[in-house]
Amino acid sequence: MGVRVVLTGGGTGGHIYPALAIAAGLRQKHPDWELIYFGGRTGLEKNIVPRADIPFYAISASGLERHLSWKAFVSLSRLLPGTLQGWRWLARLRPRVVVGTGGYVCAPVVLAATLARVPVLLHEQNALPGLTNRYFGRLARAICTSFPGCEGYFPRPARVHYTGLPVRPEIGTIGREAAARDLGVDPVRILILVVGGSQGARKINQAMLALHRELQGSSRVHLWHITGENGYQEVMEGITKEGIDIHAAGNITVVPYWHAMPELLAVADLVIGRAGATFMAELTLAGLPAILIPYPFAAENHQEYNARALARAGGAVVIPDGDLTGVLLWETVRSLLEDSQRRQRMAAASRGMARPRALEEIIEIIEEIAGGQA
């Protein structure tokens, strides 16, 4: 049996999928290593992780409170049993390293690892590190970040490594012509890709009606609008009320969801969407200019920090959700359509933020900590 590694992270897909990407990379490079996942009893990970064929151990955990209150005491009281559970399992399993990707389940596992003298590597997805990683970063042997300049959030900056966020390996490797052929679109046209997120983004969907109206029938631009499952019907009704016939227009695609995102990113010329960490990592790896509308209710408004980081580098225009209107969105899109050199500069800046070796660098740090052979 090779090295044993415990992964942990949960609550949302933003914490789970990076952990699974790291797991997949470890399996590919070290097929003899044993991987185990510690997750919450009620989080999404309890259903997602077993499908990846990774043994799953359920930990008692609850979210940390940001302010002193009775809920904070309840949260801390629940931290103890989860820590004891984790300590017992770690003492029995004796892993060489614990890899945490954030979320409240990380807290008891990191504490348990510290008690069990198991070194910890934390991965932070956002430009504003999450509460758990900020609190428990001092206990970590190494912290890998997805955005530059996060060192100041942690008490031991020397242990912080700017690696980037692992994403699907297909991103940035598919040719435009092949992708356009698979999607049935004209590769010569400018393709505007609109992504509101897996659950959709009502504010973006409503503002998009202005673009449908202005761009219908354009021989120069194709509009590909992913509404989210929850928003599709409302968007289609709005398009009908506007008197738009998308079939007659011939340059508008509206879908509730799309699985083949690598192909869409390969043929896109401009992206409109939220600023989740994984989405940001994918669009920078694809080298795409973006109009970002950060989701205002994300924890500690971290999407705003993500979006501003890319905007500072020159790769994005940021429109606050509260300012978003159809008129403003159309004016912003039109100005970019009319300035191809600006789009090219933004694309280059976006590509400059990409970290194509993110997974390899994280695995190298895990190997160093675990003492495994590369």
**Half-sphere exposure (Cβ direction) of 372: Cα atoms closer than 13 Å:** 22
One DSSP character per residue, 42-76 reads: SSTHHHHHHHTT--EEEE---PPPSS-SHHHHHHH
Q: pLDDT tens digit string along 263-300?
A: 999 999 999 999 999 999 999 999 999 999 999 998 88
For the beta sheet containing 190-195, the strands, ordered from the edge strand earlier in sequence to the opposite edge, are 252-255, 221-226, 190-195, 270-273, 290-292, 316-318
Q: What is the pLDDT of residue 73?
A: 55
How many CB atoms are closer than 10 A to CB 308? 17
Residue 363 reports pLDDT greater than 50: yes
Q: Identify the CATH number of the domain defined by range 4-165+356-370.
A: 3.40.50.2000
First-to-last alpha carbon distance for the chain, in angstroms, is 16
* Nearest of 270, 265, 296, 288 to residue 349 by alpha carbon: 288
Query: Please, what is the average pLDDT of the chain?
Result: 92
Which CATH fold would you assign to the domain 176-352?
A: Rossmann fold (3.40.50)
Helix intervals (H) in the chain: 13-29, 45-51, 70-93, 106-115, 131-136, 176-183, 202-215, 232-241, 246-249, 261-267, 277-285, 302-313, 326-337, 340-352, 358-370
Tokens of 65: 């409170």
Q: What is the pLDDT of residue 2?
A: 79
Sort residue 74 into left (φ over 0), alpha (ψ -120 to 50) or beta. Answer: alpha
Residue 373 reports pLDDT greater than 50: no
Q: How far apart are CA 180 and CA 268, in angstroms?
A: 9
Q: How far apart are CA 335 and CA 339, in angstroms?
A: 6
Q: What is the mean pLDDT of residues 329-337?
A: 98
Q: pLDDT tens digit string along 239-255?
A: 999 999 999 999 999 99
DSSP 299: G
Residue 367 reports pLDDT greater than 60: yes
| Domain limits, the chain | 4-165+356-370, 176-352
Q: What is the pLDDT of residue 14?
A: 87
Q: What is the mean pLDDT of residues 182-193?
A: 96
Q: What is the pLDDT of residue 68?
A: 44
Which amino acid, residue 74?
Answer: V
Q: How far apart are CA 251 and CA 191, in angstroms?
A: 9
Q: What is the mean pLDDT of residues 120-127?
A: 97
Which residue is associated with the tokens 């297909």? 170
DSSP-derived 3-state class of residue 259: coil
Q: What is the mean pLDDT of residues 44-72?
A: 77
Which amino acid, residue 359?
Answer: L
DSSP 323: G
Tokens of 279: 């989405």
Evaluate whether 4-165+356-370 and 176-352 have a shared fold: yes
What pTM did the predictor assign? Answer: 0.90
Q: How far apart are CA 257 and CA 263, in angstroms?
A: 14
Q: What is the mean pLDDT of residues 365-374?
A: 79
DSSP 371: T
Q: What is the pLDDT confidence band of residue 260, given thresholds at 50, 70 and 90? A: confident
DSSP 4: E
Q: What percent of the chain has pLDDT over 70?
A: 93
Q: pLDDT tens digit string along 215-242?
A: 999 999 999 999 998 899 999 999 999 9
